[in-house]
Amino acid sequence: MVGKAGLAPLFALLPGRIRLNQVERSKPAFPTMRFRLRWDSMRFPFILAEDKQFDAVGFGLNAVDHLIVVPEYPAFDTKTRFLEHKQTAGGQTASAMVALQRLGLKTAYAGRFGSDAEGLFGFQALQEEGVDIEFAEVIEGARNQLAFIIVDARNGERTIIWDRDDRVSYSADEAPVALAARGRVLHLDAHDPPACVRMAQAARAEGTIVSADIDNIYDGLPELLPLIDILVTSAEFPHRLTGIADERASLVELKARYGCPIVGLTKGARGAVVLCDGQFFESPACAVPQGCRDTTGAGDAFHGGFLYGLLTGEDIEASLQLGNAVAALKCRDLGARRALPSENELTKFLEINHVSKTE
């Protein structure tokens, strides 16, 4: 396994473990990180297996994104000349595996690609990143998942218009369960829930931690949620599922219903919050260097950074900070993966946004 020597000085400023606790402050769109030191760090409530082939394996979506940058989001029934167009590879789980791979960890991906030009593009993009694709499939005659994404040049916010060919979905008996327990962590995005249930069951039976990134409600989801150890969702998902508008109250209800050891949500420019053992942990978003170009895939990047913290021995708050840092760096450029950082880039970014001692 790859170590975390490059990041260690930033999170081990004193002998023993520390807790990085956010200082009370106003909340601009992308606040600078400042922390005070406390000795009561909250560790993840898991024991990670060490005898695994991969650090993380992912089962879920890949996509090819057509990003269209416009001066501002167009009004209804108007014409707008775009500023830029890029075709890039994306998809929740595939992009999270790329994030971890770039940070020096060993990853594998299982998912289905179409046999069209976009499918070939997406398959090659993942292969070039060094992610193991033994369990990836190309489905003859199917179209790859595709998205057209309108990006507002003023702030990088995006609107996604997408489609997924049913032929790249999985039934329960098609789940690639042979991969499920090969990683210390199995990461899912909960599309095709019956297949995800089988993957989660196989992973847990062999001591693999199950993580999920969920943004919508799908048939079969209630059977999957009790099998998830780390459930960090979009900001809207807990409200959709529980009917509770308050973010923290909805997370309390989510945990009470399904028993996930860690539940949380990402909040875009407001960072992220998780609940563990009755305690909330919240971390602000980081400033994007030279400003935010595109938020596409920022949540996927967050999951990569957060799992990186877990897999390299960080506590929950430090892992939240890592998730937000990776997400901010991703937003430097168009697409879900183009600007995902290496370990060295992440280290330098954390040094610039240094962890400062405050009283």
pLDDT over 50 (residue 21):
no
> Measuring CA to CA, how many Å separate 134 from each of 108, 176, 251, 306, 318?
8, 11, 36, 25, 33
What is the tens place of the pLDDT at every residue in 161-217? 999 999 999 999 999 999 999 999 999 999 999 999 999 999 999 999 999 999 999
**Mean pLDDT across 142-159:** 96
**Mean pLDDT across 230-235:** 97
pLDDT over 70 (residue 63):
yes
> How far, in Å, CA of 301 to CA of 145, rounded?
19
Of the candidates 61, 79, 82, 88, which has an alpha carbon nearest to the alpha carbon of residue 70? Answer: 82
pLDDT over 90 (residue 222):
yes
> How many H-runs (helices) and E-runs (strands) does the chain carry?
11, 16
The residue ranges of DSSP E strands in the chain, in sequence order, are 19-22, 35-38, 54-59, 63-70, 84-90, 107-110, 112-114, 137-139, 146-152, 158-163, 183-188, 209-212, 230-233, 262-266, 272-276, 279-283
Q: What is the mean pLDDT of the chain?
A: 89
Domain 18-62+92-112+171-352 CATH (choose: 3.40.1190.20, 3.90.1150.10, 3.90.1010.10, 3.40.1260.10): 3.40.1190.20
**Mean pLDDT across 13-40:** 34
pLDDT recorded at residue 251: 98
Q: Band of the pLDDT at 29, cuts 50, 70, 90?
A: very low
pLDDT recorded at residue 280: 97
Beta-carbon count within 10 A of 124 CB: 13
Q: Tokens for 259, please give them.
A: 């028993």
Q: Band of the pLDDT at 35, cuts 50, 70, 90?
A: very low
* Overall pTM > 0.85: yes
Question: What are the residues whose beta carbons fall under 8 Å from the beta carbon of 15, sequence distance 6 or more?
Answer: none
- Please check whether residue 285 is in contact with residue 268, taking contact to mean a CB–CB distance below 8 angstroms: yes
pLDDT over 60 (residue 10):
no
Q: How would you write 314-339 as a 3-class SS string?
A: CCHHHHHHHHHHHHHHHCCCCCCCCC
pLDDT over 90 (residue 314):
yes
pLDDT recorded at residue 353: 82
pLDDT over 70 (residue 40):
no
What is the tens place of the pLDDT at every residue in 262-301? 999 999 999 999 999 999 999 999 999 999 999 999 999 9
> How far, in Å, CA of 352 to CA of 215, rounded?
32
Helix, strand or coil for residue 155? coil
Task: Find where tokens 């499918």 sit.
Answer: 119
pLDDT recorded at residue 7: 54
- Please check whether residue 340 is in contact with residue 98, taking contact to mean a CB–CB distance below 8 angstroms: yes
Task: Find where tokens 């990186």 sit.
Answer: 308
pLDDT recorded at residue 312: 96
pLDDT recorded at residue 46: 92
Domains of the chain: which residue ranges? 18-62+92-112+171-352
Of the candidates 262, 326, 230, which has an alpha carbon nearest to the alpha carbon of residue 7? Answer: 326
pLDDT recorded at residue 354: 61
pLDDT over 70 (residue 25):
no
